[in-house]
Amino acid sequence: MKKRSIFNLLLVLLIFVLVYVLISSIQEPIAFKAEKEKREDAVIAKLMQIREAQEAFRGVTGGFAGDFDTLQLVLERDSFVIVSIIGDPDDANFTGEITYDTTKIPAIDSVRALGLQLDSLRYVPYGKGEMFEIASDTLTYQKTMVNVVEVGTIYKVFMGEYASNRFKKYDDRYNPGKAMKFGDLNKPTVAGSWDN
């Protein structure tokens, strides 16, 4: 009788262990997927804000910022120049004088309207203080000199405990070394890698 109760107790323990293993094997891929989506969404949202800031910077300077300090400084202190043409230079019947009216609008007003926090744009969400990589340049594209920009980070920076290749078994497209970015230093685009 004593052997039978020990055997039953061991059997119950084995059942609990198997149930735990089964639940863990089901929960891990669900937790990974949920965490991956949450972190990706946060990084995409931040990259979209940086892209808006770079577009504003281009509106002020004509080019893109190659670092976050310059991006912040220009958007806090410089202005957009808006030139209004009074009169129609293309109208053959227009006999009046064509005049140009120049107005300056502080860039910081647009930044505030967009809800951008310039001092925190550089930091990768869930990145524990890591900053986005940022670069800008000019290149000749189809015989024209154009400004280009690229801003991004790799998954390993923001995926925390999930920054391992072992999680590929739950998502065959997952690669911790893959970049999430917008722009390209080799062609004039500000499209994001998440748009693909």
Alpha-carbon gap, residue 90 to 102, rounded angstroms: 20
Give pTM, 2 decimals: 0.82
Q: Give 159's contacts (C-beta < 8 A, 6+ positions apart).
A: 35, 36, 39, 126, 176
* Below-70 pLDDT ranges, the chain: 1, 196
Q: Give the Cα separation of 145 and 11 in Å (integer).
A: 75
Query: What pLDDT does 196 receive?
Result: 62
pLDDT at position 178: 94
Q: What is the pLDDT of residue 22?
A: 75
